[in-house]
């Protein structure tokens, strides 16, 4: 800010004519900054050609094999599902697997399927469960600790 209330912006590199600073009225400066903010829910990266979202050949060239192509589902599959099931979004377990590579639907010990029976969202209930598990781990953890031993002796192989 200058003494008379204007905004002085220092350029990263000088212009060809040697200008190193630009002076703006505050409202002008804000309007130029606002113009740089992207609109919500708009992709900043745009693809053309075979990488475009609606390209018929996108499924052939991308690793995910997603793109505009004919669906291979049979008529019987669509008749068994309700309209809500056909257009349902991913479950939170599927999102965890996709985003963080955490597979909740498969048992880590035996590899079998895991069935989700509840989704607990109440913070009070969550804290009670975590306190219980901390207490349980504290009591079990002391049993499985190895016995203490003396530090290694030095000078054995000198």
DSSP secondary structure string, 68-104?
S------HHHHHHS-HHHHT----HHHHHHHHH---T
pTM: 0.31
Please state the domain extents for the chain. 7-36, 90-141
Is 60 exceeded by the pLDDT of residue 141? no
Q: Is 65 left (phi over 0), alpha (psi -120 to 50) or beta?
A: left
Query: For position 8, what pLDDT does the model report?
Result: 93
What is the rounded CA–CA span in Å between residue 68 and residue 61? Answer: 12
pLDDT, tens only, 12-26? 999 999 999 999 999
What is the rounded CA–CA span in Å between residue 35 and residue 29? Answer: 10
Of the pLDDT bands very low, low, confident and very high (cuts 50, 70, 90), residue 1 is confident
Instruction: State the DSSP H helix or E strand holding residue 8, giving kind and residue range, or none if neither.
Output: strand 7-10
Mean pLDDT of 46-51: 79
Position with higher pLDDT, 65 vs 3? 3
Query: For position 41, what pLDDT does the model report?
Result: 78
Mean pLDDT of 55-77: 68
């Amino acid at each position: 800010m200058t003494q008379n209330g204007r905004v002085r912006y220092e350029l990263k590199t000088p212009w060809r004519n040697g200008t190193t600073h630009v002076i703006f009225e505050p409202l002008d400066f804000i309007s130029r900054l606002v113009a740089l903010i992207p609109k919500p829910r708009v992709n900043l990266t745009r693809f053309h050609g075979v990488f475009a979202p609606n390209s018929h050949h996108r499924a052939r060239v991308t690793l995910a094999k997603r793109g505009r192509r004919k669906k291979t589902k049979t008529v019987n599959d669509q008749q068994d599902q309700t309209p809500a099931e056909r257009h349902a979004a991913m479950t939170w377990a599927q999102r965890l697997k996709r985003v963080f590579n955490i597979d909740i639907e498969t048992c880590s010990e035996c590899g079998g399927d895991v069935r989700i029976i509840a989704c607990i969202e109440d913070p009070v209930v969550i804290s009670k469960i975590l306190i219980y598990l901390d207490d349980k781990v504290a009591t079990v953890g002391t049993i499985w600790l190895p016995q203490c031993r003396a530090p290694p002796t030095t000078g054995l192989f000198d």
